[in-house]
Amino acid sequence: MTKPTWAVLALVFAVGLVMGPSVAFAQEQKVKVQVEVVLASNKGTVVDPPELGKMKEAFQKQNFSFTSFKRMSLDTVEVGAQKPTEVKLPNGTNASLQLLGMKDGSATLRVIIPNQSSVEVELGRQGAVYQKAGKHVGGDLILVLVPPSK
Asked if the structure places residue 21 within a domain, the reply is: no
Q: 19 pLDDT exceeds 90?
A: no
CA distances from 118 to 32, 95, 96 (A): 20, 10, 9
With respect to residue 64, please indicate whether it lies within any of the assigned structural domains. yes
Q: How confident is the model at residue 17 (pLDDT cuts 50, 70, 90)?
A: very low
Strand pairing of 47-48 and 68-80? parallel
Look at residue 40 and tell me if it is in a domain: yes
- With 70 as the cut, is the pLDDT of residue 150 above it? no
Q: What is the pTM of this model?
A: 0.78
| pLDDT tens-place string over residues 60-102 | 998 888 999 999 999 999 999 999 999 999 999 999 999 999 8
DSSP state for residue 43 in the 8-state scheme? S
Distance, in Å, from the CA atom of 113 to the CA atom of 97, rounded to the nearest integer, reads 9
Does the residue 9 lie in any domain? no
In a domain, 23, yes or no: no
Q: At residue 22, does pLDDT exceed 70? A: no
- The answer to whether residue 126 is domain-embedded is yes
Does 5 map to a domain? no
Q: For the chain, what is the domain count?
A: 1
Q: What is the mean pLDDT of residues 4-8?
A: 36
Given a cut of 50, whether residue 8 has pLDDT beyond it is no
Range(s) of the domain holding residue 104: 30-144
150 occurs within a structural domain? no
